[in-house]
Amino acid sequence: MLGIMVIALAAVLAPLVADAVGRFVRVPTVVLEILLGVLFGPVVLGWIQITKPVDAVSQFGLSMLMFMAGYEIEFARIRGRPIRSATLGWFVSLGLGVLVGLATSGPTLAAQVVALAVSTTALGTILPMVRDAGALPTAFGGRVLAIGALGEFGPIVAMAFVFSEDAAWHTIAVIVLFTVVAVVAAAMAARPRHPALARVVTATMTSSGQLAVRIVVFVLIAMIAVAHLLSLDVLLGAFAAGIVVRLAVASGPRHEREIVSSKLDAIGFGFLIPFFFVVSGAELDLRALLTDPRSLLLIPVFLVTLLITRGLPTYVLNRRDPRLRPGEPRALALFASAGLPLIVVITTTGVESGAITSATAAAMVTAGVLSVMVYPLTALRLYRSAGRKCQDVSA
């Protein structure tokens, strides 16, 4: 019980520390949650022990992070050029990642782990930063949504092929079946509500009934269960659940949409998601990293690799986008290069399968932490600078 209390304390301290140091340097809250997890975890103070209940809540927190990433996607804003460029960019990133993996590990499972890890984008992590900067409703924000969606969805689907012991045709069939289930659920969610259901949802919005939130939790668990039954990664189910709920909420009144969104933010970013990041910090094997000089050298290598594999294709594909202001393609490239949650998942699976060592995994996760800390902040500066330049020109 002490460990859970310490995790909750770390979640409280993270935004307080972020605010305190904000006058000197802006540090994303998730980075501080991970660092506090390292401090309170087994490597330093030993106040957090990863028990089964702690791990279960942490995994649900990761699922909630993927759910929120899916929930933020607005298909009307990313269709057309944004999603086409994002899709092409992700496949180019995966190809570059494969080349990096082959160069560093040869034709092994480790190479595939590296390729997956460097093709990710932390949509759930960067979206709050983009939203807080007021950029989400803009054309730039739409591009971030599209790139982040592919950077989350693509690696999750690819993991099914890399780590599955089944034949490729069986994996494809299972993914197609899950896609059919998700599409049917999305179509049902997008339909107008039955008047009786709409009445109860509205009536319980501010009461103890909370039917809307209970339906959201049911959909999340149901989609996770379907993915699990089909032997797919549960994160795919969580991501799909976010999309389904988004369509369902969009079919209702606007004021209800705002209330439900605020409640989901409270549940996700107020409880479950910080729990995941703190536990991720506590699980980081710094001892193995510090005792292996080669792994320490991998940290800057992976940090730069993320910029090359994700940032470079993003910049090339968006540098002439007429809807982006000068300077915004570079900001977009930096946002695309921030990867963390799926790096944790991919490297953990890689260690469990024996593909990579815990020291290599720790180096990759550390690089992910630095990417979330450095790249988005630089991207926000470029985005704000682009806005100021446009104002000066118009004036």
Q: Would you write out the chain's pLDDT as a tens digit for each of its 395 residues?
A: 778 899 999 999 999 998 888 777 777 788 889 889 989 988 888 888 888 888 888 989 989 988 988 888 888 788 888 889 999 999 999 999 999 989 888 888 889 999 999 999 988 778 878 887 788 888 898 999 999 989 988 888 888 888 776 666 777 788 888 888 887 887 777 777 777 877 888 888 878 888 888 988 999 999 999 988 888 888 888 988 998 888 888 877 777 788 888 889 888 888 899 999 899 888 877 777 778 778 888 899 999 999 999 999 999 999 988 888 888 999 999 999 998 888 988 998 888 888 888 888 888 988 998 898 889 889 988 888 877 766 555 54
Buried b (16+ CB within 10 A) or exposed e, 189-206: beeeeeeeeeeebbeebe
| pLDDT for 392 | 54
What the block records as the tokens of 148 is 């982040």
> Is 38:282 a contact under the CB 8 Å cutoff?
yes
Four-point Cα dihedral 177, 178, 181, 185, nearest 10? -160
267-305 per-position pLDDT tens digit: 888 889 999 989 988 887 777 777 877 888 889 999 999
CB 48 within 8 A of CB 6: yes
Burial per residue of 35-64, b for 16 or more beta-carbon CB atoms within 10 angstroms, e otherwise: bbbbbbbbbeeebbeeeeebeebbbbbbbb
Q: What angle do CA 277, 280, 281 make, to 5 degrees?
A: 95
Q: Which two tokens stand for residue 200?
A: 């109860």
- Tracing tokens 């079919």 back to the chain, one arrives at 251
Instruction: Compute the distance between CA of residue 343 and CA of residue 44 in angstroms, rounded to an integer.
Output: 23
CA distance 351 to 365: 12
Separation CA 337–CA 326 (nearest Å): 19
Q: Which CATH class is domain 50-394?
A: mainly alpha
* Sign, CA torsion 315/318/322/323: negative
Burial 209-230 (b: 16+ CB within 10 A, else e): ebebbebbbebbbebbebbeeb
Q: Give yes or no for a contact between 339 and 258, defined as CB atoms under 8 angstroms apart.
A: no
- The owner of tokens 């804003």 is 77
**Cβ atoms of 129 and 380 closer than 8 Å:** yes
Residue 64: what are its φ and ψ, rounded to 5°?
-65, -35
In this prediction the pTM is: 0.85
- How confident is the model at residue 189, as a pLDDT? 76
Output the pLDDT for position 235: 86
Contact yes or no for 77/145 (Cβ under 8 A): yes
Cα 115 to Cα 102: distance, rounded to the nearest angstrom: 9
The whole-angstrom separation of Cα 6 and Cα 1 is 9
Q: What share of the chain is helix, strand, coil (3-state, %, to 5)?
A: 80, 0, 20
The tally of CA atoms less than 13 A away on the side-chain side of residue 5 is: 3
How many residues belong to the chain? 395
Contact 252, 191 (CB under 8 A): no
Q: How far apart are the first and last CA of the chain?
A: 59
- Token pair 């292996």: residue: 292
pLDDT for 390 equals: 65
pLDDT on residue 46: 85
For position 310, what pLDDT does the model report? 95
